[in-house]
Copies of this chain bind each other. A is one copy, B any other.
Amino acid sequence: MPQYHAKVFVTLKPSILDPQGRTVERALSHLGLSASGVRVGKLIELSLEGERAEVEARLKDIAENVLSNPVMENVRWELQEAKESAPA
């Protein structure tokens, strides 16, 4: 069955405060590395096996209902067919 690699990007909605991002921003400023609007999100990588349409539906379910909180976070994802793996 085809194998896919997926990346799921989870970011806080713009209206949600991000204390972790603020802390990074202050730390950078103390190091003389100015940056603004620092936001810390998550990147989840996973592998999925199955037919394309079913994998797409499963990934959407995983990304929207398991990996992210729709009240506070935005989520988007990328799906890519895995290259032919070398025989084990």
Contacts and interface: CB of A to CB of B under 8 A. Distances in A.
Interface of A: 6, 9-11, 21, 24-25, 27-28, 31, 33-49, 58, 61-62, 66-67
Classify the secondary structure of A's interface with B. strand
Copies in the complex: 2
A59 to B, nearest CB: 8
Given A35-B62, A39-B44, A40-B44, 15 more contacts: A6-B35, A11-B45, A33-B58, A33-B61, A33-B62, A33-B66, A35-B46, A35-B58, A36-B48, A38-B45, A38-B46, A39-B45, A40-B43, A41-B42, A41-B45
Contacts of A44: 21, 24, 38-41
